[in-house]
Amino acid sequence: MLLKFIVLIISIIALYLLAIMPKLRPSKNLKNMDGWLYAHRGFHNNGSEAPENSLKAFALAVEKGYGIELDVQLTKDLVPIILHDYNLRRVCNADSQVSTLTYEELMNYRLFHTQEKIPTLKEVLDLVAGKVPLIIELKIPWRAEPLCSAVSELLKDCSGFYVIESFNPLGLIWYKKKNPKVIRGQLSTDFRREKMVGDPFQYFMLKHLLLNFLTKPDFIAYHHVHRAGLSFTICRKLFRTKPVAWTIQSQEQLDNCRKYYDIFIFESFIPR
């Protein structure tokens, strides 16, 4: 009886490790992420003329020598635009869903009471022109194919270094199948502690990185507050997966995270 119990426990542990196992031989180009600090949604201040995910914020990041993290989603007519929220309420004071608006309609709105429009991915790529690396978060509410396909088409002629990441594992699976040379990262956090509204089972799977066996990420971007999570720690220490911290908001947080992460996404302060 004891032997069966031991075998059962070993089997469960083995299955767990197989489930969270990322790509064991990540892309050689992954090293190009190193040596940069990444400005979250550009070097922005939502009380200034350079709000988040605006061309001015991206231009400032380039000027100051920071890499850039940005968010991409689709308009109703399938144009990849740069915006974090699915709804315009917070950023444009308008209760409208991005997915219900065409690109032309979206151009009527301004970010945080400034003159800044919501930029397209193409505009950002033209602005950055390969001067700094990009971490491109794919905002995928359900189906991955429309956004991944549109973004992949634009990025095929990108002159600089970039990686993609997403909370939605379907986006990583799409890239693994359709464009495997692109470096991909799994975004995650402790969804319950963050009090996010959603399916508890899905959030459990994502928090514990239990779909890594399908997505095979090159890196894992984890909320720095929850860096002690078991699955994240195993991926970092046992599988040696590159850990990316989001989002650092003070020098103190940055200093406290240095031994846990290789890459840092920051906002609201000037890091040193």
pLDDT above 90 for 19: yes
pLDDT of residue 197: 84
pLDDT band of residue 93 (cuts 50, 70, 90) is very high
pLDDT of residue 169: 97
Q: What is the DSSP string of 51-89?
A: -TTSHHHHHHHHHHT-EEEEEEEE-TT--EEE-S-SBSH
Q: How far is it, in rounded angstroms, from Cα 46 to Cα 54?
A: 10
pLDDT above 90 for 5: no
Question: Is there a contact between 60 and 43 (Cβ–Cβ < 8 Å)?
Answer: yes
Give yes or no: 224 in active site.
no
User: What is the average pLDDT score of the chain?
Assistant: 96
User: Residue 182's closest CA among 239, 138, 212, 246?
Assistant: 138
Mean pLDDT of 129-147: 96
Q: How far is it, in rounded angstroms, from Cα 202 to Cα 221?
A: 18
pLDDT of residue 44: 98
Question: Is there a contact between 78 and 144 (Cβ–Cβ < 8 Å)?
Answer: no
Q: Which residues pair with 73 in a beta bridge?
A: 81
CB-based contacts of 41: which residues, under 8 Å, 6+ apart?
A: 52, 53, 57, 69, 70, 71, 84, 267
pLDDT in tens, 210-244: 999 999 999 999 999 999 999 999 999 999 999 99
Q: How far, CA to CA in Å, does 113 sit from each of 6, 87, 92, 156?
A: 62, 16, 7, 34
Please compute Rg for the chain using Cα positions: 19
pLDDT of residue 198: 85
pLDDT in tens, 23-46: 999 899 999 999 999 999 999 999
Question: Is there a contact between 265 and 242 (Cβ–Cβ < 8 Å)?
Answer: no
pLDDT in tens, 184-209: 999 999 998 988 888 899 999 999 99
CB-based contacts of 245: which residues, under 8 Å, 6+ apart?
A: 221, 222, 224, 227, 257, 260, 261, 263, 264, 265
To which residue do tokens 């000037």 refer?
A: 270
pLDDT band of residue 258 (cuts 50, 70, 90) is very high
Q: How many CB atoms lie within 10 A of CB 10?
A: 10
Q: How far is it, in rounded angstroms, from Cα 111 to Cα 4?
A: 61
Question: Is there a contact between 203 and 192 (Cβ–Cβ < 8 Å)?
Answer: yes
Give yes or no: 113 in active site.
no
CB-based contacts of 259: which residues, under 8 Å, 6+ apart?
A: none
Mean pLDDT of 145-149: 98
Q: How far is it, in rounded angstroms, from Cα 134 to Cα 40?
A: 10
pLDDT in tens, 42-80: 999 999 999 999 999 999 999 999 999 999 999 999 999
| Angle separating helix axes 230-237 and 2-20, nearest 10 degrees | 70
Segment holding 201, helix H or strand E: helix 200-207
pLDDT above 90 for 101: yes
> What structural domains and CATH numbers belong to the chain?
29-266 (3.20.20.190)
pLDDT of residue 7: 86
Angle at Cα 261 formed by Cα 132 and Cα 174, nearest 5°? 65
Q: Which residue of the set 44, 84, 223, 224 is catalytic? A: 84
